[in-house]
Amino acid sequence: MSWGKFEIGNVKPSSKNADFFKFTTGEHLIRIASNIQFEKIHWIEKMPFECTGDKNCKYCRTGDKPKNQYKFIVINRADDLAETMTCGQQFAEAIEEIAISINKDTKGEYSLFDFDIKAKKSGTGMDTKYSASVPIGAKPIKFTSEEIEMINNLKSIKTEEKEDKKLYDEFDGVE
């Protein structure tokens, strides 16, 4: 899965709880503000722990199965603050479709990162659905310098990219 290229840098491995986007039922206007990262997460007593993906993972050794998760940075238009967002396969694929269609419709002039996106959560439990769309008549908007500063504060240093790439490569094409 690829959403196209963004600036170098990935989401910090551990962000403060307050920095996380809360995907509540309903519609949210967001701006995708980083590339996408794939992770495997163990949920132990409602707390997330990153799976190392090999036999040294202490959570795998207890028999717990890790769950797939995607992570990226967004600007939440509810308060115009940068937040870390996590999601599953369904929403990540919806965003990927948008990325592809924006590229196609604008002949490469614009990308996913130039438009606000409407993110929608509906249903409950096993019937929960996640979708995404570009609002009708949406115009491309540039990030402000304040937004770029907030985004960079949620990013980690460049050297962590290699490891993330490895996780991503392993995952690509499996599901």
Interface residues with Zn ion (CB under 5 A)? Answer: 51, 57, 59-60, 66
Per the CB < 8 A criterion, the answer to whether 73 and 143 are in contact is no
Give the integer Cα–Cα distance in Å for 83 and 23: 11
Q: Which is nearer to Zn ion, 4 or 48 (CB)?
A: 48
Please measure the distance between the N-terminal and C-terminal CA atoms of the chain and give it in whole angstroms: 10
Q: Which is nearer to Zn ion, 57 or 167 (CB)?
A: 57
Rounded to the nearest whole angstrom, what is the least distance from the CB of residue 173 to Zn ion in the complex? 21
Rounded to the nearest whole angstrom, what is the least distance from the CB of residue 55 to Zn ion in the complex? 9
Q: Which is nearer to Zn ion, 9 or 66 (CB)?
A: 66
Q: Which is nearer to Zn ion, 34 or 69 (CB)?
A: 69
Rounded to the nearest whole angstrom, what is the least distance from the CB of residue 48 to Zn ion in the complex? 12
Give the integer Cα–Cα distance in Å for 111 and 84: 20
Tokens 């392993």 belong to which residue?
A: 170
Rama region for 9: left / alpha / beta (φ>0; ψ in -120 to 50; rest) = left
Rounded to the nearest whole angstrom, what is the least distance from the CB of residue 69 to Zn ion in the complex? 13
